[in-house]
């Protein structure tokens, strides 16, 4: 059943500005979401680099431990065995982390890409919506009795329902056919933009949720590396002067793991900000 | 924003859209021109993102948006064509014509869309509006002011869109749509031409090409439209200019000419 046309009268510049101000706030939230996407992507790239550093440290550890074992005299025989075993276990960790980090990177790239598209889309949508309101304001004039201002509330949320209301407003106006056609075209464009925004925001939300699971897996491996690093430090302490290189190695592992955990935390916090923004955007 | 029909011949109309009283004062005032031929449209220098809503709102009076077949950019500046993605959102099939020098640059405005671009060769070309019999002529205007620059001439009405040539910075939106006498208008144009135009040779070449066309209207992208006696006065004035000038405040060197 066709919806009744909405009469229009006090469609003032003030009403239009109020709608556009709300629309602008919506647009700003989407831009903030893009900034979150970029933060996450940068942190993921840093993780990738750290994963490589960790790999180098582990390989260095294997070589050092092998040398220690090989050059040991009778008094220190077997000293390097434990370190070699630790270094070899350690050398497997980067290989475990690499695919996890790569998967996280793919999600982070998707988040950054989706949110970048959303930013551009929202900006264009605002300009199209502004055009639509200007045409309705111009064509509405003083005809009708009720004010449109209250009905414009629905447009503020950037939801498609608001556009349906605007379309009904247009249907109630005595206007030239070409103007009516153009109102429909602009409204259709606005609706399509909102649907695309909704889809991208939903996909962003899915990526953020999956990111959360991946962070847990990477954090677990980082914890193992940390534990191995501590063991290397303990073993190195028993090696007197010959363990100096391992003490340095343990310190380097600790620093890398600390950096890793900081980046993981940064991603978690950014993802949380992203979820809050998505909620505000109604996604 | 206002719009007026400025020329008409059979089923072809030229419409100017401009003089926006609500324009953000930070944004330079621009004229947009719409050619409607047999119900099909060509939009000349569609304008910047900032003014897009008002241009679009005004344009809705004249033509169904899905009938805009061609977007023409005289050159690559943001006030000319940064609204490109917004027009393509409404009509993805529209073809954008610009100098071959700028296709790759203007595509940056398209924000991820596959803009259908036609690079106009340096010597110019005829541009037909699809679905109509209208044929427009892209007249070279290189270095006036951009290095890849075109005017558009319509033989049927004698209307020439001149882009930044003849452009003036008007005091307000109440300024007249037409220039009938150039004398008072020169002050509004002088700085614009002396500083923005880099080549006297190029400008005089354009004047010679335009004299050969004998237009009845010259329509710049900024300011008022030239008609009647003002056309010859404008061309004579442009011929008299030594452009590409910049007064750096230093004592004038021998042979250096500074804008009067």
Q: At what angle do helices A177-237 and A160-171 cross, to 10 degrees?
A: 170
C-alpha distances out from residue A250 to A55, A60, A66, A237, A246, Å: 13, 11, 16, 11, 6
Residue B119 phi, psi dihedral angles, 5° rounding: -85, 120
What average pLDDT does range A67-75 have in this prediction?
Answer: 69
DSSP string over A78-96: THHHHHHHHHHHHHHHHHH
Task: Of B229, B245, B248, B130, give the one whose Cα is nearest residue B197.
Answer: B245
CB-based contact A54:A97 (threshold 8 Å): yes
Establish if B113 touches chain A: CB-CB under 8 angstroms: no
Q: Look at residue B107 and tell me if it is in a domain.
A: yes
CATH number for domain A13-133+192-280, candidates 1.10.8, 3.30.1120, 1.20.1260, 3.40.50:
1.20.1260
Provide the pLDDT confidence category of residue B259 given band limits of 50, 70 and 90: very low
Query: Which residues face B136 on adjacent strands?
Result: B127
Contact state of A128 with B86 under an 8 Å Cβ cutoff: yes
Contact state of A127 with B111 under an 8 Å Cβ cutoff: no
Contact state of B57 with A131 under an 8 Å Cβ cutoff: yes
Residue B43 phi, psi dihedral angles, 5° rounding: -105, 125
Relative to beta strand B68-72, strand B40-44 is parallel
Establish if A168 touches chain B: CB-CB under 8 angstroms: no
Establish if A197 touches chain B: CB-CB under 8 angstroms: no
Contact state of B60 with A130 under an 8 Å Cβ cutoff: no
pLDDT value of position B180: 79
Provide the pLDDT confidence category of residue A74 given band limits of 50, 70 and 90: low
Q: What is the pLDDT of residues A27-39, one digit of tens each?
A: 888 888 888 888 8
Contact state of B62 with A135 under an 8 Å Cβ cutoff: no
Contact state of A185 with B90 under an 8 Å Cβ cutoff: yes
Joined tokens for residue B166: 């003849």
Asked whether the predicted pLDDT for residue A149 surpasses 50, the reply is no
Distance, CA of B205 to CA of B225 (rounded, Å): 21
Residues 6+ apart with CB under 8 A from B255: none
Q: Look at residue B142 and tell me if it is in a domain.
A: yes
Q: Which residues of B touch A135 (CB under 8 A)?
A: 57, 60
Q: Look at residue B133 and tell me if it is in a domain.
A: yes
CB-based contact B46:B32 (threshold 8 Å): yes
Asked whether the predicted pLDDT for residue A94 surpasses 50, the reply is yes
Query: Which residues face B139 on adjacent strands?
Result: B151
- Residue predicted with more confidence, B144 or A72: B144
What distance lies between CA B201 and its chain's CA centroid?
A: 20
- Residue predicted with more confidence, B118 or A91: B118
Establish if A179 touches chain B: CB-CB under 8 angstroms: yes
The ipTM value here is 0.90
**CA of A23, closest CA in chain B: separation in Å?**
14
Residue of B nearest to A134 (CA): B57
Q: Look at residue B216 and tell me if it is in a domain.
A: yes
Of B59, B60, B89, the CB nearest to A124: B89
Q: Look at residue B195 and tell me if it is in a domain.
A: yes
- CB neighbours of residue A155 within 10 Å: 25
Contact state of A186 with B90 under an 8 Å Cβ cutoff: yes
Contact state of B54 with A138 under an 8 Å Cβ cutoff: no
Joined tokens for residue A245: 């290189």
CB-based contact B29:B173 (threshold 8 Å): yes
Q: Which residues of A touch B110 (CB under 8 A)?
A: none
Distance, CA of A107 to CA of A124 (rounded, Å): 26
Q: How many domains does chain B have?
A: 1
B46 SS3 class: coil
pLDDT value of position B58: 96
What average pLDDT does range B157-175 have in this prediction?
Answer: 90
CATH for B12: 3.60.15.10
Residue B40 parent element (H or E): strand B40-44
Q: What is the pLDDT of residues B55-111, one digit of tens each?
A: 999 999 999 999 999 999 999 999 999 999 999 999 999 999 999 999 999 998 887
CB-based contact A31:A165 (threshold 8 Å): no
Range of the domain at B25: 2-240
- In the DSSP assignment, the letter for residue B73 is -
Contact state of B89 with A182 under an 8 Å Cβ cutoff: no
In chain A, the percentage of residues whose pLDDT exceeds 90 is 8
| Conformation bin of residue B128: beta by default, left when phi > 0, alpha when psi is -120 to 50 | beta
Q: Look at residue B256 and tell me if it is in a domain.
A: no
Provide the pLDDT confidence category of residue A143 given band limits of 50, 70 and 90: very low
A-interface mutation test, from B27, B46, B57, B108, most A Cβ less than 10 A away: B57
pLDDT value of position B90: 94
Q: Look at residue B258 and tell me if it is in a domain.
A: no
Residue of B nearest to A192 (CA): B89
């Amino acid at each position: 059943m066709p919806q009744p046309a909405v009469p229009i009268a006090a469609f003032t510049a003030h009403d239009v500005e109020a709608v556009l101000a709300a629309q602008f706030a919506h647009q700003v939230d989407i831009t903030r979401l893009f900034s979150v996407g970029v933060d996450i992507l940068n942190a993921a790239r840093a993780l990738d680099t750290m994963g490589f550093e960790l790999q180098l440290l582990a390989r260095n550890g294997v070589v050092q431990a092998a040398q220690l074992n090989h050059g040991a005299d009778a008094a220190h025989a077997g000293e390097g065995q434990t370190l070699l075993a630790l270094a070899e276990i350690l050398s497997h960790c980067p290989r475990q982390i690499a695919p996890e980090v790569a998967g996280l990177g793919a999600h982070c790239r998707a988040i950054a890409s989706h949110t970048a598209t959303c930013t551009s889309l929202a900006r264009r949508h605002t300009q199209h919506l502004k055009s639509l309101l200007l045409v309705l304001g111009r064509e509405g004039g003083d005809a009708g009795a009720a004010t449109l201002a209250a009905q414009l509330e629905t447009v503020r949320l950037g939801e498609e329902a608001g556009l349906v209301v605007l379309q009904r407003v247009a249907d109630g106006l005595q206007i030239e056919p070409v103007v009516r056609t153009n109102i429909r075209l602009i409204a259709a464009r606005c609706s399509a933009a909102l649907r695309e925004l909704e889809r991208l925001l939903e996909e962003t939300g899915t990526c953020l949720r999956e990111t959360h699971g991946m962070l847990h897996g990477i954090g677990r491996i980082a914890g193992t590396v940390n534990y191995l690093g501590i063991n290397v430090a303990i073993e190195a302490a028993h090696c007197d002067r010959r363990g100096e290189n391992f003490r340095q190695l343990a310190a380097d592992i600790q620093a890398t793991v600390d950096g890793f955990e900081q980046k993981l935390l940064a991603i978690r916090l950014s993802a949380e900000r992203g979820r809050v923004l998505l909620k505000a955007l109604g996604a | 924003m206002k719009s007026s029909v400025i020329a008409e011949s059979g089923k072809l109309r030229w419409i100017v859209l401009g003089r926006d009283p609500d324009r953000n004062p930070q944004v330079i005032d621009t004229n947009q021109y719409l050619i409607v031929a047999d119900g099909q449209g060509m939009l000349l220098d569609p304008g910047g993102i900032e003014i897009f809503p008002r241009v679009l709102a005004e344009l809705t009076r004249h033509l169904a948006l899905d009938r805009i077949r061609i977007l023409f950019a005289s050159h690559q500046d943001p006030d000319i064509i940064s609204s490109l993605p917004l027009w393509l959102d409404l009509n993805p099939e529209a073809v954008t014509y610009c100098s071959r020098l700028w296709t790759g640059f203007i595509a940056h405005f398209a924000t991820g869309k596959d803009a259908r671009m036609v690079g106009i060769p340096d010597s110019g070309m005829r541009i037909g509006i699809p679905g109509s019999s209208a044929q427009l002529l892209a007249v070279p205007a290189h270095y006036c002011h951009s290095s890849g620059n075109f005017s558009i001439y319509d033989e049927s009405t004698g209307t020439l869109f001149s882009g930044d040539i003849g452009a003036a910075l008007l005091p307000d939106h109440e300024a007249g749509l037409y220039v009938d006498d150039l004398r008072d208008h020169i002050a509004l144009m002088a700085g614009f031409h002396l500083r923005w135009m880099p080549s006297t040779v190029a400008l005089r070449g354009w004047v010679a090409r335009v004299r050969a066309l004998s237009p009845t209207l010259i329509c710049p992208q900024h300011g008022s439209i030239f008609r009647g006696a003002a056309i010859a006065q404008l061309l004579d004035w442009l011929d008299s200019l030594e452009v590409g000038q910049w007064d750096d405040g230093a004592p004038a060197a021998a042979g250096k000419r500074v804008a009067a």
